[in-house]
Amino acid sequence: MARIARNFQKVTIKDVAKYADVGVGTVSRVLNNNSHVDPSTRQRVLSAMKELGYVPNPHARRLSTGTSDLVTVITPEMKGDFYQTLIASIDEVLIKNGYSSLLYPLYNERKYEALRKSSEILLSTDGLIVDGVSVDKLLGDIVEPNMPVVCLEQESERYDSIMVDNYYGGIIAGDYFADLDMEIFVVTHRKAHELESTVFDERLEGFQESLERKGRSIDKIYYVPLDWESTFEVARRIFSRYKRCAIFTTTDYLAVPIIEVARTMELKVGKDVRVCGFDDLPIAQILEITTIRQPISDMGKVAAEILIKKIRGKARDKVRKVILKPELVIRET
């Protein structure tokens, strides 16, 4: 006894079994179509399921098997093409392998807290892909030690990680700008949150290093939040003094308003004003922005593949680091 019908008289595997005149085990077997079931029996069960409108209860399945076929994907944001591309490429691999992704964008403080409080969500999935934020710091105490985890754009002592050599990307951007006979500016993002990614800084460092090697230096670095509004302002400030200069933005996203302002002020972008972004976001292709291309899709694909191997217990034990190289793409700016 002791049971209230919460689930609105849902039909269970038991009802199906009775209806088809078989045991529940058999129903379960056709459900998972593993082990051999007699074709005629299977047919009977199948039509019983249809007849009764049976839908399996995922919670029960998960409790019983201990797996959910779900993967949590944590990103610091989901705005912008970068994450679109990344998530789509992760998803593609996941779906192909029978998993679904559970997206968890940490777009504000509240989401951080919510994640820590109801870490249930994580624990109910089979694996975890974390982009940009530090697992060790953010979730070190929450994630079970043997949960399969892959880090993206973030190093980890304990887990596999996929990184892009952002420092190297900065270097090639610097090499490209060093020969230009103009002032050199940088517009970059200052990380606002302890747990945010350090990629922008790495790009900046590489850029700086490359210029130094060639006996040049950055004339000024502008730090902005990751929005266009502030970047417009910065651009106006720059162009009101300099009608001729080279600007490196540590992401294409920040290059867009700069180019917009330059054009509005009728400066010749690509000639007097040179702009090099980073990432090769779709917008960079559309606006023909010169940029450092990051292999975003590859990152997602590799991350998902490694994670699935880990979930299936096929991965090697030692912590692995995959480092992908960016490349310079010269366009019109």
The only residue of 19, 47, 51, 61 in contact with DNA, by rule CB under 7 A: 61
Query: Which residue from 26, 161, 166, 250 is in contact with DNA, where contact means CB under 7 A?
Result: 26
Among the listed residues 43, 60, 190, 220, the single contact to DNA using CB under 7 A: 60
Q: Closest distance between DNA and the C-beta of residue 132, in Å?
A: 31
Query: Binding residue for DNA (CB under 7 A) from 33, 53, 64, 318?
Result: 64
Contact between 35 and DNA per CB under 7 A: yes
Q: Does position 100 bind a second copy by CB under 8 A?
A: yes
| 87-106 per-residue burial string, b: 16 or more CB within 10 A, e: under 16 | bebbbebbeeeebebbebbb
Q: Does 319 bind a second copy (CB under 8 A)?
A: no
Q: Compute the distance between CA of residue 308 and CA of residue 67 in angstroms, rounded to an integer.
A: 13
Evaluate whether 112 touches 139 at the Cβ level (below 8 Å): no
Range 198-257, binding a second copy (CB under 8 A): 227-229, 232, 257
The type of residue at 280 is D
Instruction: Decide which of DNA, a second copy, none touches 144; Cβ closer than 5 to 8 Å per partner kind.
Output: a second copy
Question: Do residues 286 and 253 make contact, with C-beta atoms less than 8 angstroms apart?
Answer: no
**In the complex, minimum distance from the CB of residue 69 to a second copy, in angstroms, rounded to a whole number:** 8
Residues 6+ apart with CB under 8 A from 196: 76, 132, 133
192 binds DNA (CB under 7 A): no
Partner touching 41 among DNA, a second copy, none, CB below 5 to 8 Å by kind: DNA
Q: Is residue 290 close enough to count as binding DNA by CB under 7 A?
A: no
Q: Which of DNA, a second copy, none interacts with 302 (beta carbon under 5 to 8 A by kind)?
A: none
**Residue 312 binds to a second copy (criterion: CB under 8 A):** no
Q: Closest CB to a second copy among 144 and 327?
A: 144
Q: How far apart are CA 210 and CA 80, in angstroms?
A: 29
| C-alpha 38, offset from chain centre | 45
124 belongs to the binding site for DNA (CB under 7 A): no
Alpha-helical (H) ranges within the chain are 13-20, 24-31, 39-52, 58-65, 81-96, 109-117, 120-123, 135-139, 166-178, 199-213, 228-241, 252-264, 282-286, 296-311
